[in-house]
Amino acid sequence: EPEVTQTPSHQVTQMGQEVILRCVPISNHLYFYWYRQILGQKVEFLVSFYNNEISEKSEIFDDQFSVERPDGSNFTLKIRSTKLEDSAMYFCASSVDSNEKLFFGSGTQLSVL
């Protein structure tokens, strides 16, 4: 069965460093998302992406965050200058349509020291 893949599974970085989290969505899906879960908190929406542009973003998704689909298969989340509070599990997801179920990747655990 097709699946969403995410790399790396774990990322440790120093505060202030840039990180790029990578995702390969399911190939025939058109909508792509990033969510995150800070330990002990709810899963939070960050951003959705369709037709090569951001369709919605949350208040969390400030200028430090950006997303890109560089080559038609990868979907990346960049955090320019990481903060301690960015430590979380980051999930990529994709869906066929905006009102269809999401398929989640297995997540990248980001630790900012």
* Residues near other proteins, by CB under 8 A: 4, 31, 33, 35, 41-45, 48, 50, 55-56, 58, 91, 95, 98-107
Of 82 and 108, the one with the shorter C-beta distance to other proteins is 108
CB of 105: closest distance to other proteins in angstroms?
6
Write the DSSP string, 2-28: ---EEE-SEEEE-TT--EEEEEE--TT
How near is the Cβ of 1 to other proteins at its closest, in Å?
11
Contact 93, 43 (CB under 8 A): no
Show the tokens assigned to 18: 């840039």
Q: H-type helices in 43-92, by residue range?
A: none
Q: To the nearest whole angstrom, how small is the minimum distance from the Cβ of residue 103 to other proteins?
A: 7
